[in-house]
A and B are shown apart, each in its own frame.
Chain A
């Protein structure tokens, strides 16, 4: 099986712009979660989608949004970029949405740099 894929791998944007990141989960996985990883804050949960519905949301401003498509692929969008949004954005997928003991499978991440 192919792993979790994320595109693009690297992005450079300027303040005020918006950006869209994409994630394709492992085939058969219906849950997709997004995380922001920074040296100062570590791994922070953004949101989780299951069957095209946002099921959980972390403590991030409304500039951060996401969606999931019928094929389980997911996108996240950040509008009005700020310097502090520079981070590695990780996508993770897992099988069934109802079993919290399942491990997550992570993609390689998208490195976003905001200038």
Chain B
């Protein structure tokens, strides 16, 4: 019940296209869902996060869509750029509990 399932494992998108990464969770106590971007040899960087009281959050080219009833959330990267090529992790946690449960990661390659 603590798992967060992430798909796809890898993704190749052409420059300018839309990258979509999906995550699903089981624990209905989760109430904070961040996305992290990680480049090789670096630590993860917080990209965008959402709480279940909203269905969508947009920051620049990055959008999180959240479906509470389906217990799913997704990251959309609009106008994908080669510089977006990285590994993306979704995560979930309970506020106050602080421990993050990570998805398995998606390796995104944006071809020029």
**A complexed with B:** no
B-contacting residues of A (Cβ < 8 Å)? none
